[in-house]
C-alpha cells in the first residue's frame, strides 16, 4: 500500500482544492453571523448546556437572532433542551442543511439531530483499538462540517456549547478566528474551580478573549418564597476571578424549575424569578463586553 509520500503530487485527490472550497464555504457562513461566543467549563456536570440554552433564550427575548452549535458531539443535549427531537426531518437545500428551529425560533445544529434514536451513541469507529488522535481528528472534522454545512443565515449571535475539557478550544479557534470570546462556567465546588482554572490558563496563553466567569448553582432558590440557601461548599469564586484577573459576570442560583419546564425554556417562562434575573444580568455583561 502506498502512502502520500510515495505519490507524485496529490495522487489526483485534489486535497488542496477541497480544503480551499471548504474554507470558503465556512467563511461565507461565518460572515453572516455578527458575534460568535463559546461557552465552556473544563468540567462536565456544571450545567453548561442549560446555561447556554437560557442565555440564548434571553438574547432571543431581547430581539436578537440566535443560533446554537452543539459542539459537544459525544454528549449532545441542546436539541433536547430546545424541544427539537432526534426525529426532526432535516432538509438539505442547494445552499446547505437547514438547521433545526427550537423554542423562540432559536436555530440549532446538534449531533443528536443526526442520530436514529434518542439512545443511539455516537460511534466514530467500529475498531476498539482506534487511537485517540484518530478519533480526535474525526471529531474536529465533524465540528467543521456541522458549522460549515449548516445554513445559519444572518444571526446576531452564534453560541457554541463546548464539550468538557480545555483542549477543544483549539479546534473552534482555528475554525472561528474572530471568536468574540469565551464564557467560562463553574460551580462553587473546589473540584470544579480547580479544573476551570486550567481552562482559563490555556485561554490566556492562547490569547483567546475571556468574557468572564459565570458561577452556576451558586445557591439554591426556593420557587415558592424566593429564599436562597447554600448548595455547595467551596472557596468564594470571586477569589478565583481576582486571582486569574478575569471578570465575574454572573451568579446564578439553582432553581428546580430549570429542568422541569416543558414547551419553553426556563428563562422565557420565569424571567422575573431570582434565577431568571440572574441570567439576564449575566447576559448584560456579555453584551457589554461585546459592544466594547
Q: What is the mean pLDDT of residues 56-65?
A: 98
Task: Output the nine-digit C-alpha cell for 162.
Answer: 463546548
pLDDT score recorded for residue 16: 55
Each domain of the chain, given as residue ranges in start order, spans 35-291
For the ranges 85-99, 108-122, 153-167, the one whose mean pLDDT is highest: 153-167
| CB atoms near residue 211 (< 10 Å) | 23
**Alpha helices (runs of H) in 103-189, residue ranges in sequence order:** 132-149, 169-175
Check residue 4 and give its pLDDT.
Answer: 47
User: CA torsion angle for 268, 274, 279, 284 (degrees, to 10)?
Assistant: 110
- The pLDDT tens digits for 70-85 are 999 888 899 999 998 7
Angle at 27 between CA 21 and CA 29, to 5 degrees: 105
> pLDDT tens across 228-237, in order?
888 777 778 9
Whole-angstrom distance, CA of residue 222 vs CA of residue 103: 26
pLDDT digits (tens, 9 = 90+) for 161-202: 999 877 778 889 989 999 999 999 999 999 999 999 999 999
CA distance 6 to 41: 44
Question: Of 49-63, 141-155, 158-172, which one has max mean pLDDT?
Answer: 49-63
- Average the pLDDT over 40-63 and give the result: 94
| Angle made by CA atoms 164, 240, 182, in degrees to the nearest 5 | 45
Tally the residues of the chain: 292
**pLDDT for residue 214 is more than 80:** yes
Cell 471529531 belongs to 139
What Å distances lie between residue 106 and 59, 130, 208, 214, 258, CA to CA? 10, 36, 26, 22, 18
Which of 197, 184, 181, 283 shows the shortest CA–CA distance to 240? 197
The residues, any chain, with a CB within 8 Å of residue 27's CB and separated by 6 or more, are none
Examine the pLDDT at 253 and tell me if it is beyond 80. yes
Would the pLDDT of 13 be above 70?
no
H or E stretch at 210: strand 210-221
The residue with greater pLDDT, 86 or 26, is: 26
What is the CATH number assigned to the segment(s) 35-291? 3.40.50.300
Predicted confidence band of residue 126 (pLDDT cuts 50, 70, 90): low
- Average pLDDT over the chain reads 86
User: Does the pLDDT value for residue 97 go beyond 60?
Assistant: yes
When pLDDT is cut at 50, 70 and 90, the band that residue 21 belongs to is: low
Instruction: Specify the pLDDT at position 7.
Output: 55
Residue 103 to residues 79, 82, 223, Cα–Cα distance (Å):
10, 5, 23
> Which whole-number Å values give the CA distances from 69 to 45, 148, 177, 217, 262, in the listed order?
19, 11, 16, 24, 22
Amino acid at each position: 500500500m502506498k502512502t502520500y509520500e510515495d505519490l507524485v503530487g496529490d495522487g489526483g485527490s485534489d486535497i488542496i482544492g477541497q480544503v480551499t472550497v471548504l474554507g470558503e464555504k465556512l467563511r461565507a457562513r461565518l460572515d453572516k453571523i455578527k458575534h460568535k461566543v463559546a461557552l465552556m467549563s473544563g468540567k462536565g456536570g456544571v450545567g453548561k448546556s442549560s446555561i447556554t440554552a437560557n442565555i440564548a433564550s434571553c438574547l432571543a427575548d431581547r430581539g436578537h437572532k440566535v443560533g446554537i452549535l452543539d459542539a459537544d458531539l459525544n454528549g449532545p443535549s441542546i436539541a433536547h433542551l430546545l424541544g427539537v427531537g432526534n426525529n426532526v426531518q432535516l432538509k438539505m437545500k442547494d445552499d446547505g442543511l437547514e438547521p433545526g428551529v427550537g423554542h423562540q425560533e432559536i436555530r440549532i445544529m446538534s449531533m443528536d439531530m443526526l442520530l436514529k434514536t434518542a439512545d443511539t451513541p455516537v460511534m466514530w469507529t467500529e475498531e476498539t483499538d482506534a487511537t485517540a488522535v484518530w478519533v480526535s481528528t474525526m471529531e474536529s472534522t465533524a465540528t467543521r462540517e456541522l458549522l460549515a454545512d449548516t445554513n445559519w443565515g444572518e444571526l446576531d449571535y452564534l453560541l457554541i456549547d463546548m464539550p468538557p475539557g480545555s483542549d477543544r478550544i483549539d479546534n473552534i479557534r482555528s475554525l472561528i478566528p474572530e471568536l468574540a470570546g469565551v464564557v467560562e462556567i463553574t460551580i462553587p465546588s473546589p473540584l470544579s474551580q480547580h479544573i476551570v482554572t486550567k481552562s482559563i490558563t490555556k485561554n490566556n496563553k492562547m490569547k483567546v478573549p475571556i468574557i468572564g466567569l459565570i458561577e452556576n448553582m451558586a445557591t439554591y432558590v426556593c420557587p415558592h418564597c424566593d429564599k436562597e440557601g447554600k448548595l455547595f461548599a467551596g472557596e468564594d469564586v470571586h477569589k478565583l476571578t481576582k486571582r486569574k484577573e478575569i471578570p465575574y459576570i454572573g451568579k446564578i442560583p439553582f432553581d428546580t424549575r430549570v429542568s422541569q419546564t416543558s414547551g419553553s425554556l426556563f428563562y422565557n417562562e420565569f424571567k422575573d424569578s431570582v434565577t431568571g434575573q440572574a441570567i439576564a444580568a449575566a447576559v448584560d455583561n456579555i453584551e457589554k463586553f461585546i459592544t466594547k
